[in-house]
Chain A
């Protein structure tokens, strides 16, 4: 990022004066920004729009009637919402930290020069990128061989290790951490583990931040594993809550004769437009808030990742 910034300041365009072309370019970029951001804005607006207004006039960027009822409806999920939040946070934090730790350990081992087994480690890491069993095999192995159905392990382990992330970490170790440091530590009597944990790991921080944020986002946004494997309410993450809301809307729309008792079981009423949007805010909110702080790291991480190790 520092490099990008420096170059941006040096960029030749800076010397040029404002021209008609620049204005047109800026307008085009603004239009594209609106295209990207308007739908996100719509979520926030709809969440605070009066439900009856949406039913009558449809979704709108400029509703005439505002209301807090959507947000209140979300709070009605009450306990389930808090449980799901807890599950998502738990899975995200544990998965990211565990993944970062074991992946940097592997990357470190792989980067040792006179370690003969490191070639095998590299190949072992690469094969899953080329060939994998696909969703169906995964599903059957995890459920009928490991019997892990409905286990949080299946939310954590499948996203824990990725070939690309190990390569990013390894590239960083090789290119940005001088091996003299590690050798010096050894001469000073530090064991292998101590060298890794006290010298290498702290120096890996920038790279860990980049990989970590991308991992955390992947964990936070993972709906597929949850949908495939999680049944119990107490283990449902936020994304599954969203999927379930959509499913229950569809169910109610397709079945006109759903008894009132069933409706009651679904939380009182058909989940409504503004309430649904309010739920979306609750689910995507934390990432929206965290992302600006990590932006510079993941841009850097992406750049590092593009340079093959």
Chain B
């Protein structure tokens, strides 16, 4: 202990250097964690978080009472996680390999620049772009097909709309990570394969793809920790928070955001948030445990 204090005193300059981030994390990340107790409280604005009376598991009874909403948003959250992760990974890898294989290097570089642009457009702006495509009277899609489909009132179209928007926004950027792995492959491997008479497909199958597998595994496993979280902008902005679409577009995060604005159903929201945080933690621990088993050096802790 004395050693420890001595060591800390010797490094007092480092303690001071670390202090600002420590304080920001403490006030912005750690204190809000205590807000999760609201799941067990009957929140009263005038009494604040810590002064509000406890109410045991009442809020969770709410959750069970309105289980349809809860199940819908949990189902949507999970469903989109699976779609985005599966399709996203597939497309990111395909695009990275395609760019890597293409011999027109200058052209692909310019194309890559254009492909990455959408990731830098906020969802607040993206929703206007989506609107230009799917609006009822002026949308490009209705214009091209000569139809008058009202997309903003029909939930069945939204799994496709949301998925296409997500792919459009993230694929170009997502492939960059995999491309950097491909760039690191030892070219001698390819040359050796060539001497052995491997054709292009064989080289991709036996050299390129296997070299990507560690990165894919790690990215997938790390994403498991975020299963309960969604791209709020995608589900809140792009759908314009339209009530008619909730059955296919409401995810936990967009529900909570909506509830904060409408100031409604407080206990229910607090219980949902608690559920989200705890399940998120468990999944994250699980994911890290898995990474540790498969690729120990890529584990987070």
- A145 contacts B48, CB within 8 Å? yes
Q: Provide the A48-75 mask, 1 if CB < 8 A to any CB of B, else 0.
A: 0000001101111100000000000000
- B132 contacts A106, CB within 8 Å? no
Contacts of B171 in A (CB 8 A): 32, 36
CA distance A291 to B119 in the complex (A): 11
CA distance A132 to B237 in the complex (A): 23
CA distance A7 to B104 in the complex (A): 14
CA distance A247 to B100 in the complex (A): 44
B160 at the interface (CB under 8 A from A): no
CA distance A22 to B301 in the complex (A): 43
- B143 contacts A106, CB within 8 Å? no
Chain B contact residues, majority secondary structure: helix
Nearest-neighbour CB distance to chain A for B67, whole angstroms, equals 19
Q: Which residues 129-178 of A sit at the B interface, judged by CB distance below 8 A? A: 129-142, 144-146, 157-158, 160-161, 166
CA distance A149 to B15 in the complex (A): 31
A273 at the interface (CB under 8 A from B): yes
- Given A25-B98, A145-B49, residue A134 in contact with residue B31 (CB < 8 A): no
B249 at the interface (CB under 8 A from A): no
Chain A contact residues, majority secondary structure: helix
A86 at the interface (CB under 8 A from B): no
**Interface residues, chain A, CB within 8 Å of chain B?**
3-4, 7-14, 16, 18, 21-22, 25-26, 28-30, 32-33, 35-37, 39-40, 42-43, 46, 54-55, 57-61, 102-103, 105-106, 108-110, 112, 114-118, 121, 123-142, 144-146, 157-158, 160-161, 166, 191-193, 196, 217, 220-224, 228, 239-240, 242-243, 246, 250, 273, 276-277, 280, 283-284, 287-288, 291-292, 295, 299, 302-303, 306, 308
What are 19 A-B pairs at a CB distance below 8 A? Answer: A8-B183, A12-B203, A32-B95, A36-B117, A43-B132, A55-B137, A58-B135, A125-B25, A128-B29, A130-B284, A133-B34, A136-B269, A141-B49, A193-B13, A193-B17, A280-B125, A284-B122, A284-B125, A302-B180
**Interface residues, chain B, CB within 8 Å of chain A?**
3-4, 7-8, 11, 13-15, 17-18, 20-22, 24-25, 27-36, 38, 43, 45, 48-49, 95, 98-105, 107-108, 111, 113-118, 120-125, 127-129, 132-133, 135, 137-140, 142-143, 168, 171-172, 176-177, 179-180, 183-185, 187, 190-191, 194, 200, 203, 215, 225, 232-233, 237, 240, 253, 256-257, 259-260, 269-270, 273, 276-277, 280-281, 284-285, 297-301
